[in-house]
Structure 1
Amino acid sequence: MSVAKKEYKRITVKTLVDMKSNGEKISMLTAYDYTMAKIVDGAGIDVILVGDSASNVMAGHETTLPITLDQMIYHASSVIRAVDRALVVVDLPFGTYQSDPKEALRSAIRIMKESGGHAVKLEGGREVKDSIKRILNAGIPVMGHLGLTPQSIYKFGTYTVRAKEEQEAKELVENAKMLERIGCFAIVLEKIPAELAREVASQLTIPIIGIGAGNGVDGQVLVLHDMIGMTHEFNPRFLRRYMNLYEDMTTAISQYVDDVKAVEFPNDKEQY
């Protein structure tokens, strides 16, 4: 059953908890630049994730691992300048938090100070607990990320569904509860069985945002470029394309090329 959408002038971490309490689902999309973020924010999205997926869709890398902290700050700064309403969460990139809690805090502080972001997100459970606690103790909101964690792709060796086996599912639930207990304001669950995600969402008081985790969670996130069809090679089951911009843009650009070569652009009305 759908719940009437309440009007929020500004989304905060508290707003998201209130939305879960009220039964209102949370909408979340990625953005990496000013123009796209302006459109996404204006359309009423609740959370904008400046994801390390910029490594893939903006820079063309095969994985999220190559993107640097400086690059994430650049993308986040561009997004922040466009946003009036949404909560902006910024991914901590690979190598900036995994092994050293002090380095994790320095990285999070740089994101908050230099980009103006509202919160950070990082992947993992108990293995990054100390880093998360150090960041939280500095007053920086943290969103967790469990299930398929793309920064660990070489450890997993595959992008297939995680936590299908009982032991891994049990560990995921334990990690989710731990993340809530130490103070994370929300958790992303990526590519896990829908029933497991529903179980986690029902047991925790903080919002659970799913991507490939079914509809029993508190909200959904997708990569913007996938959702609007700018990318076309990536076709997971969980992705719904709301547009086919790849085809539309290809058609438009091809027409422009033809018009320029035929001297049909610019016409008399399009020159001074």
Structure 2
Amino acid sequence: MIDVLEPPRLAAHRREPMLNVPPVITVLAAAMLLIQLVRDWVDVETGIEILALFAFIPARFDPSVLADGVLPGGTAADAWTFVTYAFLHGGWTHVGLNLLWMLAFGTPVARRFGAVRFLLFFAVTAAAGAGLHLVTHEGELVPMIGASAAVSGCMAGALRFMFAHEGRGAWRPGMMESAVHFPAPPLTRVMRDRRVIGFVAVWFIINLAFGVGAPAGIVDGSVAWQAHIGGFLVGLLLFPLFDPIRGRPDGDYYSPPTRH
């Protein structure tokens, strides 16, 4: 007879339903859907006011384009729009696609981080996306909206640990869910994995391709691909600051089950 010993947290996790979405993901999704419903319900003038107050508008930070006081919110809005833009979307298709990706990649990251850490991670990656968008669209009047930068950060975060317990074995369904409780390897080790290299390469190619004119992303119908890249890179690099699971002192990030 062969007995297999596994970490207690992982054993408990396997008894959880696969579609048990963390409450923080449910709350974020509900907030985005409710906001989209409100934007559909209000009149055009109110809708414009909502965009002016909560969307990310690069011209807000360029006094040569917009004088102080033209946009509502003042200095406070200069800060909160780095995050609040992520809760606004250009339509139901836009919000639906972002929520699907957030369910897929945000769910394991939220389970690993917990609600508070995940919300901070979501905010930081959203702000990073806005920051890179600001650098590349200085003085632009078109508002940027959508959770894609934060979702891209979740993709990068999941990438940091999704292969942690499988060595260099082939990916299989459910791998990312079962990897939630395993220590994440260092980024230098992650980026030597051919599967990770392939994922990152395809992700960048798709975003650059969409950047030349596919619909979605911001108000004028173009894709804010620079924001996606900003969120992804910061999610990839700053993951350890939010990760509560640490590697063993000896650097052994994966130990196979003990058999006897």
Normalization by structure 1: what TM-score?
0.23
More strand by share: 1
More helix by share: 2
Greater relative CO (CA pairs within 8 A, separation 6+): 2
